[in-house]
Chains A and B, each alone.
Chain A
């Protein structure tokens, strides 16, 4: 069986600084895969290369066997790859409802429709998505005025609105308190199971990583130095030496 997302010999070079070094990586349909690595390991760059936010210097990205290397973001998302961002990335002066509705209108190819009034478009589905992430009561609030954790939930709702097959989450719990982290992970866990989503995510919190992933890959200086089942990665001597250190025992 071929992988859902297949990355072959990917390189990204920022004028001499190699952020992604010969990465070959397969994401299987339905799996939950964590990418870990220290700050500056190239995790976000790796995501940006997949979603078309950056062009790779070399190598290819294939999705369902189709080459999508260098395709712009707005086309990548239409193929079924959605992502959330490490930093809050919403439409701050629009209402929570509108944030999600805009994504739905885009999915349905209505963004350019100038004479189709927007008030009654996708009301039920928007509310249902807001309900899924627990924001239904905040629907009419201004998105930018929500608490940080709620803005992250909204990001997830926007990503889900695109009805993706693959969800890429770039540090979904960054900046959250331990309680918020727990809630956020439960939410991601539930949603990916309910919708049968393939999940690729980066994360610093080892508890989260080992808690929900089927497989883990370790990125270090732009290279994947280990990839496999959580236990294998945990026990990999190279990984222990370079990255996990004592944290591996703490997380265990």
Chain B
């Protein structure tokens, strides 16, 4: 009993230790991949919304992914992940309230778009509300680089 408790404590400690020491460089790589995935779903959805391809049945899949990813982003910018292959601007950390609001705008727009897709009322304007919220955040918090 005592041994297993100790083992549990050890596992817990190791786990916390790992989380705390999560390599910032790895966080940045992970973040880049998540944002690329977001762009991938956005780009794919845009081609359906614009009527370039006839995969309307797949719009819900992309809209769901966009909504889900919008909820992850806020947690991907820990302090000290502001170097290397990132375009994150210092304002993310120096203006946390504005940054939180930009995240919220994006989450709400993505949620509303998903709902519209599920209700069969999705249109170009609702999709543009999502990409406008992406643009609003990139405008303030991302250095342009490509």
Q: Do A and B bind each other?
A: no
B interface residues with partner A (beta carbon < 8 Å): none
